[in-house]
């Protein structure tokens, strides 16, 4: 099975790098260093060879498998000749420490959580709104076109938003044959985040219990649990931020070599290519990195490091940027798109309002009156200095991946900084103070430059994650022996409501019904259990009965026997649902947008002549471009036109 090339390649590179560090006796390096460096290097390799294949429309299963096999063979040959593979294995064996009772208890709870999340990720179809609209839709177009080249579409984010999370999905899809494993991308990055968080904690000299507490803090973040089984990209962003933080602290504490410099540049590039919010979070880290190096090395050496890191980061992003510039004359897309995503007012009033607002959205309660009073209070307090506050809304959605706040973690973060302030004289490693300042700076920069979004609470996930080591270290400053262990178990157990009762992918449903695997709506109703509901219904968990319209409409399309499907869609359409229900493109069906924006008309294929058109913007039309209407579904939301006399629309 071709998909096994991915874990095989990772394991071989991991053993190679672990053996290299063991042979070189690299300071502070252990198996976790090798893990993060392996993930970084393979991530950069994936992007570069994907961009290369894209130039020749060669993004096929054969060529993707070839390049992964090439990496596997190369690492095995180098590792075998240098002896690093065996050294890496022996280093793992010698570094193994027998777990104590607490390790077994905490490890068992963690394993149960991860096992349940793995099952949910495999069992559930993609059903996140953004994923249906663009995360997964773009993957379908790439697989069909065998290229990352821009294409005609009705929804701008399919083209202009960062792509690395979806590239992982594309590779899984090509090597497996369908989208069965799409949800596993964020799941595996979640595991990577946990390893990275424990690694950062260890860099400050903290033992296993503190590392367990950092892991428990991280895995109990509600937004993190909910996203771990979705195809969004905030957990992937959190991984690259965690890894960049680890590399930064390593660079401050030890001498740099070229492997560290390369990993730093590639990691920075991967984060930049994952989500725009990464820029805000990474900026203070980069300043810290170069400032700390400047204190120890001459400026000329720092300039060389900076040039290499910049070249690597730009190389990772070059293909994505060039496509956007060619289409929209901007590396991030149209100017109005970028303007809408960033703050246009850099005044202190807006900053103070944003700082409060970004914290307040985590404090939603089940009582709408309380939420409304909170909003009114903030609007009244900031109306004269922050006009953006008028847009504020606080919505209760404790188990919904676009709305869930992290109130417990927010409170623990506040406690963390109070403890650091009180106990700062007890902190022997002064790098920790720099780390704390950088995390605060991340929040300030994020609040300053990222525009308010009613669903933007998910953007904060990487920042909550990166606070986990600091929380664990601050608790260790308190001389209460049992506290760290008790908090670890409490936080691990607190994760289960979000693990079990995800509103759109629940293992145990909360509904007013007698269905199996269902309990009453004790904390709000959910969709039906994934153990009981057909996947077609789970996919439309947010949309309810509208899903029936999609299913019925695609059944009619399949009955026509047509393989060339035209799309005339609204920007809010759940485009991926059409691909998934039709089984395209792996079954030979081709879906193409036939009416698009002026900037994208150059990508329309004049040779494409659909025999079916799926239209959501056709009103009462009975004929469209020479094809007759044969069906209308969802109160007219979806219309199907079919025929053999297609006439190209006039621009």
How many domains does the chain fold into?
4
- Residue 128 sits in the same domain as residue 31: yes
Q: pLDDT band for 476, please (50, 70, 90 cuts).
A: very high
Rounded to whole angstroms, how far apart are CA atoms 230 and 539? 12
> Which long-range CB contacts under 8 A does 603-607 form with residues at least 24 apart?
603/149, 603/150, 603/151, 603/152, 604/152, 606/648
User: Which residue is associated with the tokens 């953004």?
Assistant: 130
pLDDT digits (tens, 9 = 90+) for 404-448: 999 999 999 999 999 999 988 888 888 999 999 999 999 999 999
pLDDT digits (tens, 9 = 90+) for 194-243: 999 999 999 999 999 999 999 999 999 999 999 999 999 999 999 999 99
- Tell me whether strands 518-519 and 509-510 are parallel, antiparallel or unpaired: parallel
pLDDT digits (tens, 9 = 90+) for 325-353: 999 999 999 999 999 898 876 677 788 99
Question: What pLDDT is stored for residue 428 in this prediction?
Answer: 83
pLDDT mean across residues, the chain:
95
pLDDT at 321 over 80: yes
Q: List C-alpha distances in Å: 242 to 213, 281, 343, 593.
A: 16, 10, 25, 38
Domain contains 500: no
Nearest Cα to 472, choosing from 420, 406, 405? 420
pLDDT at 650 over 80: no
pLDDT at 572 over 90: no
- Residue 592 sits in the same domain as residue 530: no
pLDDT digits (tens, 9 = 90+) for 107-163: 999 999 999 999 999 999 999 999 999 999 999 999 999 999 999 999 999 999 999
Rounded to whole angstroms, how far apart are CA atoms 573 and 624? 19
Q: What is the CA radius of gyration of the chain?
A: 25
Question: What pLDDT is stored for residue 479 in this prediction?
Answer: 83
Domain contains 197: yes
Domain contains 650: no
- Residue 62 sits in the same domain as residue 203: yes
pLDDT digits (tens, 9 = 90+) for 79-99: 999 999 999 999 999 989 899
- Residue 559 sits in the same domain as residue 444: no
Question: What pLDDT is stored for residue 55 in this prediction?
Answer: 98
- Residue 250 sits in the same domain as residue 222: no
- Residue 308 sits in the same domain as residue 445: yes
Q: Which residue has the higher pLDDT, 72 or 545?
A: 72
User: What's the whole-number mean pLDDT along residues 364-380?
Assistant: 95
- Residue 235 sits in the same domain as residue 263: no
Question: What pLDDT is stored for residue 343 in this prediction?
Answer: 84
User: Which residue is associated with the tokens 């308190």?
Assistant: 478
Task: Answer for the pair 200, 27: CB distance below 8 angstroms, yes or no.
Answer: no
- Tell me whether strands 590-593 and 564-568 are parallel, antiparallel or unpaired: parallel
Angle, to 10 degrees, between the axis of helix 483-494 and the axis of helix 101-123? 20
pLDDT digits (tens, 9 = 90+) for 520-531: 999 999 999 999
The 3-state DSSP class for residue 270 equals helix
- Residue 279 sits in the same domain as residue 425: yes
Q: pLDDT band for 251, please (50, 70, 90 cuts).
A: very high
Domain contains 32: yes
Side-chain-side CA neighbours of 412 within 13 Å: the count stands at 25
Domain contains 486: yes
Three-state SS annotation for 446-494: HHHHECCCCCHHHHHHHHHHHCHHHHHHHHHCCCCCCHHHHHHHHHHHH
Under DSSP, the state recorded for 524 is B
- Residue 151 sits in the same domain as residue 173: yes
Domain contains 651: no
pLDDT at 390 over 70: yes
Question: What pLDDT is stored for residue 129 in this prediction?
Answer: 94
Question: What pLDDT is stored for residue 345 in this prediction?
Answer: 65
Domain contains 439: yes
Of 201, 216, 243, which residue constitutes the final position of a domain? 243
Sheet strand arrangement including 590-593: 590-593, 564-568, 612-615, 638-642, 627-633, 623-624
User: What's the whole-number mean pLDDT along residues 504-509?
Assistant: 97
Alpha helix (H) ranges present in 329-347? 335-341
- Residue 556 sits in the same domain as residue 425: no
Note down the domain range covering 578. Answer: 546-642
pLDDT at 383 over 90: no
Supply the pTM of this predicted model: 0.97
- Residue 352 sits in the same domain as residue 237: no
pLDDT digits (tens, 9 = 90+) for 588-624: 999 999 999 999 999 999 999 999 999 999 999 999 9
Domain contains 228: yes
- Residue 154 sits in the same domain as residue 239: yes
Question: What pLDDT is stored for residue 397 in this prediction?
Answer: 95
């Amino acid at each position: 099975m071709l998909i096994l090339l991915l874990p095989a390649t990772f394991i071989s590179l991991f053993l190679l790098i672990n053996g290299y560090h063991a042979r070189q006796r690299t300071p502070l390096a252990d198996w976790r260093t090798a893990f993060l460096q392996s993930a970084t290097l393979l991530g950069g390799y994936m992007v570069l060879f994907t961009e290369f294949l894209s130039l020749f429309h060669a993004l096929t299963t054969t060529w993707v498998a070839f390049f992964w096999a090439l990496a596997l063979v190369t690492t095995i040959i180098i590792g075998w000749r240098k002896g690093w593979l065996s050294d890496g294995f022996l280093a793992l064996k010698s570094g193994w420490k027998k777990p104590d009772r607490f390790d077994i208890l905490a490890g068992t709870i963690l394993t149960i959580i991860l096992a349940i999340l793995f099952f949910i990720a495999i069992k559930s179809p993609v059903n996140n709104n953004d994923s249906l609209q663009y995360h997964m839709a773009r993957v379908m177009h790439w697989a069909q076109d065998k290229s990352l080249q821009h294409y005609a579409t009705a929804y701008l984010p399919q083209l202009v938003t960062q792509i690395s999370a979806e590239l992982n999905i594309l590779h899984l899809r090509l090597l497996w044959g369908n989208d069965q494993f799409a949800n596993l991308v964020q799941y595996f990055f979640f595991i990577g985040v946990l390893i990275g968080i424990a690694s950062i904690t260890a860099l400050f000299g903290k033992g296993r219990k503190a590392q367990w507490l950092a892991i428990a803090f991280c895995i109990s973040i509600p937004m993190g649990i909910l996203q771990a089984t979705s195809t969004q990209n905030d957990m992937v962003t959190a991984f690259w931020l965690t890894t960049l933080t680890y590399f930064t602290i390593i660079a401050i504490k030890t001498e740099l070599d070229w492997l560290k410099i390369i990993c730093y540049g590639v990691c920075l590039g991967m984060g930049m290519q994952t989500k725009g919010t990464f820029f805000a979070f990474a900026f203070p880290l980069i300043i810290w990195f170069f400032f700390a190096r400047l204190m120890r090395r001459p400026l000329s050496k720092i300039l060389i490091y900076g040039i290499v890191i910049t070249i690597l980061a730009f190389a990772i992003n070059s293909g994505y940027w060039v496509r956007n510039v060619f289409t929209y004359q901007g590396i991030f897309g149209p100017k109005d798109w970028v303007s809408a995503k960033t703050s246009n007012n850099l005044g202190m009033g807006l900053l103070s309002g944003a700082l409060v607002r970004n914290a307040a959205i985590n404090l939603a309660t089940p009582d709408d009156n309380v939420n409304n009073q909170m909003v009114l209070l903030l609007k009244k307090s900031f109306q004269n200095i922050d006009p953006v506050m008028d847009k504020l809304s606080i919505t209760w959605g404790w188990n919904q991946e676009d709305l869930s706040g992290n109130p417990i973690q927010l409170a623990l973060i506040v406690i963390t900084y109070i403890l650091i302030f009180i106990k700062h004289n007890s902190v022997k490693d002064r790098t920790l103070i720099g780390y704390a300042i950088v995390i605060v700076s991340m929040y300030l920069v994020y609040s300053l430059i990222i525009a308010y979004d009613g669903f933007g609470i998910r953007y904060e996930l990487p920042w909550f994650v990166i606070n986990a080591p600091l929380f664990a270290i601050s608790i260790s400053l308190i001389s209460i022996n049992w506290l760290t262990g008790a908090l670890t178990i409490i936080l691990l157990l607190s994760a289960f409501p979000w693990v079990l009762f995800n509103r759109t992918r629940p293992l145990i449903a909360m509904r007013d019904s007698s269905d199996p695997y269902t309990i009453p709506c004790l904390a709000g109703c959910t969709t039906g259990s994934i153990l009981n509901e057909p996947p077609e219904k789970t996919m439309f968990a947010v949309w309810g009965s509208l899903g029936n319209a999609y299913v019925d409409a695609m059944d009619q399309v399949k009955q026509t026997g047509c393989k060339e499907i035209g799309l005339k869609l609204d920007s809010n359409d759940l485009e991926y649902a059409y691909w998934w229900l039709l089984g395209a493109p792996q079954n030979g069906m081709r879906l193409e947008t036939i009416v698009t924006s002026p900037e994208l008309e150059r990508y329309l294929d004049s040779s494409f002549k659909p025999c079916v058109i799926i239209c959501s913007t056709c009103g009462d039309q009975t004929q469209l471009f020479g094809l007759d209407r044969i069906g209308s579904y969802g109160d007219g939301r979806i219309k199907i036109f079919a025929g053999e006399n297609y006439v190209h629309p006039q621009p």
